[in-house]
Chains A and B, each alone.
Chain A
Amino acid sequence: MSAESDLIVRLDGVAKSFGAVHALDGVSLDLRAGECLGLVGHNGAGKSTLMNVLSGNLLPDTGAIVIAGQDVTAGYSPQTAMQRGVRCVYQELSLCPNLTVAENARISHPAIAGFGWRRAARALIGAKLDEVFPGHGISTNDVVGDLSIARRQMVEIARAFAVTDTPARVVILDEPTSSLDAVVAEKLLKHVRRYVEGGGTCVLISHLLGEVLETSDRIAVMRDGGVVALDAARSFTRNSLVAAMGSVAETQTAAAADGAVIRDGAPVTLRATPSAPETLTLTAHKGEVVGLAGLSGQGQTELLVRVFEHAPGTDVSGNVSLVAGDRQSDGVFPLWSIAENVSIGSLRQFLDGFLLNHDKAFEFSNRWKDKIGIRTPDMADPILSLSGGNQQKALFARALGAPAEIIVMDDPMRGVDVGTKQEVYAMIREEAQKGRTFLWYTTEMDELRNCDHVYVFREGAIVADLTRAEMTEERVLHASFRADA
């Protein structure tokens, strides 16, 4: 069993430019049968572009794609990728919300056709869901639009692993756990290991370095459109990965050390009670960073939106601004420039009488560009010219720039790179010290360590109220699950 015979995919000197931006700078990468390759890097490092090339969505400018010894570069498309056994789970979900789970399986598996196709599709996707996510609670007749984000993600993943007439040789998972809670994510990663041990190949892109280190056989680190490190997973550590990505090392303790806010000293700025029965009430004081924890989709977002709307059941003193987590659906105005996207939250400040002063608004957004480090030559460029992480920074700038005493954040760091995160954490801390109150829903345990106080959500209710001193990963997890589960 030589390394050569195990070779499934070879990317050879793949380069891709978008205008003046070199997204990929001659990347060469091998994928072998029976391995999971972790792919890490900052936003904009080129991971997604590379995988879009491999899955046929983008044609490389130069370079070759070789699958199972055959050069397939000419005329490579999503269909040929599919026929050659390359599957991809995209970061933004690609299911049809108006179709059922089984019908969606039919869409990506053209082989399911003819009389009795419905039964075949149900059996295929149902069996795969049972295999990857036992106890998933999804019916194959459910319309996808009625499912939660996490369940849609599960369907999407199961669909990629399902096999009809074309093999599933290589499965690319682009941030697959971003909307899954810890337990479901664990099931997925276990399945990846099983699949790999059965001879399959997996590419795992994730910002959660822990899961990459645990699940991968090899890890490739990308930076500025190239692979800068590639080695066996066991030869990396969390710190060495972060170092290779070229960002500042994580300093978890720094935030904890200076966060000596005392609850009793500061006035209460808001109280909010979830609508579920038997719940605790959330209280936030001036200058506090309050974390909303728990598994994903347990009512955290709903509570944030209610606080934002000053809805009944909340007692909010002061203006509220919101940082959206789901950029596409809740945050970005796609036709506008970066500057317009930033300034929309604070337009009143730029009024001269009844009329807006566009120069003032542009100056304002330029100040925030420098303050929060939005990487763009010109704030007048369209918002969609930015990478995901920088779009998120623009949304932070919109909320922080608004005249609001309270900032609510809806899991805002989804798919954001480590470097950006550290910068934003520091800024949140700084703003809190100036007297602003933050409500921060996050699905990442590390981020809770930046909070002064944590409320754990379960099934729409607040079930635990932890001070910083009491907050440990174990306690949060404990509260997130029912005692009898």
Chain B
Amino acid sequence: MSALAKFGKQPWLWAWVGAIAVWAATAAYTGGTGSGQVMSAALTFGAFFVIVALGQMFVITLGPGNVDLSVPACMTLAGTVAMKSMDGSGAMLPLGLLLALAIGLSVGAINYSLIRLLRIPPIIATLSSSFIYQSAAIWWNRGLRVKPPTELAEFTTAKIAGIPVIALCVVVLAAIGHVVLTRTLYGRGVIAIGQNPRAAHLAGVKVERIRAATYMLSATLAGLCGYLLAGFSGGAALNMGEEYLLSSIAVVVIGGTSVAGGYANVPGLWGAALFLFLLVTMLNTMGAGAGVRLVLTGLIIIGVIVAASGGKRTT
């Protein structure tokens, strides 16, 4: 009983319950036709969300004000540069990947330097720097849409036993993220800083080193996502990262990570990513127009967060 009660309090539970409920509702509406396809698409798109949200989760866990708004621009820049330098050649695949990761790493380093050297709130630092990355992507791309190497396109759409390969890879990535969060000095440090940065410093946590690593991790994952997404969607588009700005935050928070920092969990990321995708699918299936779809998406996000909170205010 107490184990069950404890399970009921897991913060990631709600996201999963929501995802399954929405999927079931869609399946019930269509009478079950195509629900396998829907799940497969959800796993693919969810994987992209989870890659970005994993980095965003570490950033948000650093505490109030920490959020990486440069995610979309970083994705676009990494995707653009990687696609253009590979120029459709499969032999260049690893180089393109390295390039995308290196761009992410540098973006993260720049973001952190702005936060640290200029003492700008992260939300403003990553916002203003993202304008520059976006410009760089425009300038680099010149309005062309370079096709990705076929190998990359095939990899991002491949399936094993009906399950997208990319989803399997991201499950492994998320598992690594979970271990990093709970069982490394770095992960403990992030959580400590999120609760009380001064106390963390005075307890011997290397606060600045960890913050730097976190922003670099977030941008590197965004770079990776940009690379894969460009491969998946047939090239890097200048607006490819757009929806990932609010979605990456929504996935983290609906997944049960505390926006106030100091508490995070990885399983919720997958639940929330699937939930968000399946929600839109359900509304599409039911024939809702864009306006209704948006309103319902918003209300359900709020509904989930209200239900998950359980009314914690004490006097």
User: A: which residues have CB within 8 A of B?
Assistant: 305, 308, 321-322, 324, 329-336, 344-345, 347-348, 351, 354-356, 358, 398, 402
Contacts and interface: CB of A to CB of B under 8 A. Distances in A.
B204 A355 contact: no
A331 B202 contact: yes
A345 B203 contact: yes
Contact of A335 (B182, B203, B262): B262
Given A347-B185, A347-B188, A348-B185, A335 B263 contact: yes
B288 interface: no
A398 B184 contact: no
Interface string B8-28: 000000000000000000000
A329 B199 contact: yes
A324 B199 contact: yes
B189 to A, nearest CB: 9
A398 B199 CA distance: 12
A332 B199 contact: yes
Contacts of B204: 321, 344-345, 402
The CB with the most chain B CB atoms within 10 A, among A332, A333, A336, A356, is that of A333
B184 A356 contact: yes
B312 interface: no
B209 to A, nearest CB: 14
B125 interface: no
B195 interface: yes
Contacts of B188: 344, 347, 356
Given A348-B185, A355-B179, A355-B183, A336 B202 contact: no
B196 interface: yes
B184 A331 contact: no
Interface string B181-214: 0111100100110011011101111000000000
A334 B202 contact: no
A334 B179 contact: no
B202 A330 contact: yes
Contacts of A348: 185
A88 B215 CA distance: 45
Given A308-B202, A344-B188, A347-B188, A334 B183 contact: no
A336 B262 CA distance: 9
A45 B188 CA distance: 35
A355 B184 contact: yes
Contacts of B262: 333-335
Given A308-B202, A344-B205, A333 B195 contact: yes
B5 to A, nearest CB: 16
A347 B188 CA distance: 9
A331 B184 CA distance: 21
Given A333-B262, A335-B262, A324 B184 contact: no
Mostly, the B contact residues are helix
Interface in B227-254: none
Cβ-closest 10 pairs across A and B: A333-B195, A355-B183, A356-B183, A322-B202, A335-B262, A344-B203, A345-B203, A335-B195, A331-B199, A330-B202
Contacts of A305: 202
Contact of B198 (A329, A335, A336): A329
A356 B185 CA distance: 7
A346 to B, nearest CB: 9
Nearest to B193: A333
B198 A330 contact: yes
Contacts of B184: 354-356
Given A333-B262, A334-B195, A335-B195, A351 B185 contact: yes
B177 to A, nearest CB: 14
Interface in B53-79: none
15 contacts: A321-B204, A329-B196, A330-B199, A332-B196, A333-B195, A333-B262, A334-B195, A334-B196, A335-B258, A335-B263, A336-B191, A354-B184, A355-B183, A358-B183, A402-B204
A80 to B, nearest CB: 16
Given A329-B198, A330-B198, 13 more contacts: A329-B199, A330-B202, A333-B195, A335-B262, A336-B192, A336-B195, A344-B200, A344-B204, A348-B185, A351-B185, A355-B184, A356-B182, A356-B188
Nearest to B198: A330
A241 to B, nearest CB: 34
A77 to B, nearest CB: 10
Nearest to B188: A347
Contacts of A402: 204
Contacts of A308: 202
B259 to A, nearest CB: 13
Nearest to B187: A356
A344 B201 CA distance: 11
A85 B185 CA distance: 52
B64 to A, nearest CB: 13
Contact of A344 (B179, B192, B258, B263): B192
The CB with the most chain B CB atoms within 10 A, among A308, A347, A398, is that of A347
A100 B192 CA distance: 32
Contacts of B198: 329-330
A143 B214 CA distance: 35
B175 to A, nearest CB: 13
Contacts of A358: 183
Given A348-B185, A356-B188, A324 B195 contact: no
A330 B204 CA distance: 12
Contacts of B183: 355-356, 358
B230 to A, nearest CB: 32
A355 B182 CA distance: 9
A269 B161 CA distance: 65
Contacts of B200: 333, 344
